[in-house]
Amino acid sequence: MEVLNYMRLFVEVARTRNFRRAAEALDMPNSTLSRNISELEKAIGLRLLHRSTRKVELTEAGEVYFKRCQSIVEEARIAHEALLDVAERPSGTLRVSMPVDLATGYLAPVLADFAQAYPLIAFEFDLTPRRVDLQTEPFDLAIRIGPPPTAPSMLVARQIALLPRYLYASPAYLKTAPPLADPSHLVNHVLCIGQGLRQPDGKKTLYRGEESVEVTVPTRFAMNSVGLSRALAKLGVGIAVLDTELAREDVASGQLRRVLPDWNLSPVQVHAITETRLLPARTRLFIDFIKARWNDTAPAPPVRRKQ
């Protein structure tokens, strides 16, 4: 990059045959320009310019170098402008891995709006909860629910959302199940967990404003699909942990009802994971677009009292 910059400076001096005018065009001090040209000549080992108080002339070597450098500097300028154009009008194929529940339950309208905003981008979505290998598989990023990965260490995780979590059950389940008026009553109920495996001790912390309480909840069904836990809850199998967006239609239709409505579990994180911080324009724009839309529509996470 330093050599290319020296070439650019030399081309401007050779073109104008004047250090002062070249310095003005380059928006730099005349002394700095003169010093850089001297460093270029020193690096090459040849004198490129004959300098006098009245004019600047190219040496024979300078003439040859000028002809070659002109095309190189012009090609570099064109390449740079083309890259800026790509950044402003991103194109290419964006390959994303994400859980199917997240894609269909939250991101479908966001994806539609993003596709309309950037018509030159094509998409390949792999809807799977598996931990894809971003180093060996052809993905630009993965979107995952839960804490950021700790390995491999070079992965970059950007938090893009916090999903609030509440308890939902079907009217049929609540009709035959034991009373459920207080978090302590959960010990007599069945929980369907769709965002991770069950905890060995079955303990969950529920929050009501700044108040928190830890309860033991039997988890009979643990899975990596929120959609399945929601379906089981509608069938009266147990209580599902969902957020308002995923449960909205079922609550409106009467298939699910929020239980312990004053209480909630801690929000779950959603991360965009990439192999590097140096991202193509389409990937960076996609992450920023989702994060902005999510933050515009998501409720603020509940306040937690410091322990």
The pLDDT tens digits for 281-297 are 889 999 999 999 887 65
pLDDT value, residue 303: 43
Instruction: Choose from 134-143, 146-155, 162-171 the range with maximum mean pLDDT.
Output: 162-171
Instruction: Classify residue 304: in a domain, yes or no.
Output: no
**Residue 17 pLDDT > 70, yes or no?**
yes
> Which residue shows structure tokens 């979590």?
165
Pair (58, 80) in one structural domain = yes
Pair (60, 132) in one structural domain = no
- In this structure, what CATH number is given to the domain that contains residue 140? 3.40.190.10
pLDDT value, residue 258: 96
pLDDT value, residue 301: 46
pLDDT value, residue 255: 97
Instruction: Classify residue 306: in a domain, yes or no.
Output: no
Between strands 191-193 and 239-242, the pairing is parallel
pLDDT value, residue 265: 92
Pair (145, 276) in one structural domain = yes
pLDDT value, residue 76: 83
pLDDT value, residue 39: 92
Pair (277, 258) in one structural domain = no
Domains identified in the chain, total number: 3
pLDDT value, residue 40: 92
Question: Residue 33's pLDDT band (boundaries 50, 70, 90)?
Answer: very high
Pair (66, 151) in one structural domain = no
pTM of the model: 0.66
178-215: per-residue pLDDT in tens? Answer: 999 999 999 999 887 766 545 556 788 999 999 999 99
Cα 117 to Cα 88, 89, 288: the distances in Å are 12, 10, 13
CB within 8 Å of 184: residues ≥ 6 apart? 213, 215
Cis bond upstream, residue 138 (ω within 30): no
Instruction: Classify residue 144: in a domain, yes or no.
Output: yes
Cα 248 to Cα 75, 87, 162: the distances in Å are 56, 38, 17
Q: How much of the chain exceeds pLDDT 70, in percent?
A: 90
pLDDT value, residue 244: 85
> Which residue shows structure tokens 């509940």?
302
Residues 193 and 199 sit within 8 Å (Cβ to Cβ) = no
pLDDT value, residue 261: 95
68-96: per-residue pLDDT in tens? Answer: 898 898 888 777 766 766 666 788 899 99
Q: How much of the chain exceeds pLDDT 90, in percent?
A: 50
Average pLDDT taken over every residue of the chain: 86
- Domain end, chosen from 37, 66, 86, is at 86
Cα 230 to Cα 101, 104, 144, 304, 306: the distances in Å are 10, 14, 19, 27, 32
pLDDT value, residue 201: 60
Q: How far apart are CA 34 and CA 136, in angstroms?
A: 48
Pair (287, 153) in one structural domain = yes
Pair (169, 263) in one structural domain = yes
Q: How far apart are CA 51 and CA 18, in angstroms?
A: 9
Pair (155, 276) in one structural domain = yes
pLDDT value, residue 243: 85
pLDDT value, residue 304: 45
Determine how many CB atoms are found less than 10 A away from the CB of residue 40: 22
Beta-bridge mates of residue 159? 271
For residue 67, give its domain range.
2-86
